Amino acid sequence: MQFARSSLRDHHGVREPSGFRRCNRAGKRSSGRAVASEDAKLAERAKNGDTVAYEELVRGHQAVAFRTAYLIVGDASEAEDAAQEAFVKAYRALGSFRSGAPFRPWLLAVVTNEARNRRKAAGRRFGLALRAAREDSPGEGASPEAAAVAAERRAELLAALGSLREEDRIVIGYRYFLQLSEAETAAALGCARGTVKSRLSRALARLRKKMVEDENATG
């Protein structure tokens, strides 16, 4: 997907990284402290005007940014646009990024805001797609029967998740589909860790209730 304004400049007149021009869903990134530490170094360099460092951050986070946006807008094309625009806005806002802070939750907060704004502007209710958050599939060697059961269960979960309110879908999606830590989820949502715990507990309870109701209805 080509970036529409390849010659955009930030408020300091610095050319924005060419890495913005293609925000695709390729390439997963390993997790762990080493990655977080490397992100912190890249973010600090980017704050000091190193566009190559920011391009590296874009490449490392474009997949999770897309999935985060998809959780909210429910459309692949809209999610790509939202993620791409969020990278641009995050680049322009690097001056407000606190040195040494985790980069990923800060970025995902920007992505979440951009996706929410786009969804509201479009005026439509989104549906959560399980495959966009985490494309689980039966392991190799699984029997056709096992694969069919797994696919049916994923479809049931998708339907139940889609019926929940936005706050529930997002907190469940962040923790279990995007596999953010509790601290990362709190940072991305702009709330305390205790709030994440309580929101997640209530959301999971509503999800379980919905799935039981659906099973009884089709029983």
Does the reported pTM lie above 0.75? Answer: no
Domains of the chain, CATH where assigned: 1-126 (1.10.1740.10), 132-219 (1.10.10.10)
On the 0-12 / 13-18 / 19+ scale of CB atoms within 10 A, 155 is exposed
Nearest to 57 by CA among 32, 40, 69: 40
Residue 218, token pair as written in the block: 């089709």
User: What mean pLDDT do residues 190-204 have?
Assistant: 92
* Both structure tokens of 28: 């997963």
For the stretch 145-175, pLDDT in tens is 666 666 677 777 777 887 888 888 888 888 8
Average pLDDT taken over every residue of the chain: 75
pLDDT at 141: 57
Q: Any residues with CB less than 8 A from the CB of 130 and at least 6 apart, and which?
A: 136, 154, 157, 158, 161, 177
At 19, the pLDDT band (50, 70, 90 cuts) reads very low
pLDDT, greater one: 89 or 12:
89
